Amino acid sequence: MTELLLQQAINWITLGSIYALLALGFSLIFGVLNVIHFSHGDVAMTAPFIALAGAQALAAVLGAAAPAWLALAVIAAVFAVGLIGVVLDKAVIRRFRDAPAMMALVATVALGIVIRELIRHLYPQGSNPHAFPRLIGGVAFDVAGVPVSWFALAVVGLTALLVGLLFGFLHLTPIGLRIRAASQDRVVARMMGISDGRVFRATFLMASSIGAVAGLLFASYAGVTRFDFGVMAGLIGFSAAVIGGLGSMPGAIVGGLIIAGIEVLAQTFVPEGASYRLVFVFMLVIAVLIFRPAGLLGRTILEKV
């Protein structure tokens, strides 16, 4: 029983870290633009396909097997998805910044469908699942007879590093301070001479790049990637952000860990829990929306009428 609990604790922390990265993107974009970017999960899950295509292209041009080029292709995919996020903002999302929330919601849902269908039709055999290798293999050490993989350590360490870098960027750099100012009050930020364009580009670049890392880790954790994984990644990431509090960085991390914990507990202790794990997750989301709409760590916004 002890070994089972330890193993599930490792799975919980690993999966929770991935979900936290997905939720960070939602919270960052919502905190600055006040827009729920429902295609964020689809954008994030383009990263595994870009990495696989890049590794195969490098192998074909430069020789050697595709896995030998995977590390370089993964880095390129993160930057590529960051730029995709900026382009999508400029082409579509920025047109709905001052529009009613429902218009932006419908537009981003439609954008997610476009991204999925493009992957399905343009990527070779895009309708089929594609194997995605474990980015880091091997066992680092044992804890009471339970192996702790290098992959699990890398996921947790990379998540902590990205959260620390994001926190430092937002609090210690000029553009980070402008992003925080815009997240507090865009109108006042404009009056102070802060350029909306630069703030939004930087926000989408960071959010999409972090999402790309999450997408790559998710595909590596699952061992496979599919064109429609973006739907589930988006729902999980958004749910984690809602539970923790949209716009809250600590809330995104807490929400990701809570959702991963529910999934792991359901699969471990509930008969056929793997089939029902999302039922428990979304029941919690409904409960949070009913009893604490701002999320566990979010702040309630009062509007004067």
Q: Is residue 296 part of a domain?
A: no
CA nearest neighbour of 186 among 178, 27, 246, 299: 178
Q: Is residue 234 part of a domain?
A: yes
Question: How sure is the predictor about 303, in pLDDT bands with cuts at 50, 70 and 90?
Answer: very low
Q: Is residue 215 part of a domain?
A: yes
Task: Please give the Cα distance from 170 to 94 (Å, whole number).
Answer: 21
pLDDT at 65: 63
Q: Is residue 298 part of a domain?
A: no
Do 24 and 248 meet the contact criterion of CB atoms below 8 Å apart? no
pLDDT at 137: 82
E-only strand ranges, the chain: 130-131, 139-143, 146-149, 224-225
Q: Is residue 110 part of a domain?
A: yes
Overall domain count for the chain: 1
- Torsion on CA atoms 107, 112, 115, 116, rounded to nearest 10: -140
Task: Please give the Cα distance from 202 to 168 (Å, whole number).
Answer: 14
Task: Please give the Cα distance from 291 to 187 (Å, whole number).
Answer: 31
Q: Is residue 223 part of a domain?
A: yes
Per the structure, the complete domain to which residue 7 belongs is given by 2-136+149-291
Q: What is the pLDDT of residues 202-231, one digit of tens each?
A: 899 999 999 999 999 999 999 999 999 999
pLDDT at 229: 92
pLDDT at 302: 44
Q: Is residue 180 part of a domain?
A: yes
Q: What is the DSSP letter of 246?
A: T
Give me the CATH number covering residue 130. Answer: 1.10.3470
Look up the pTM and report it: 0.91
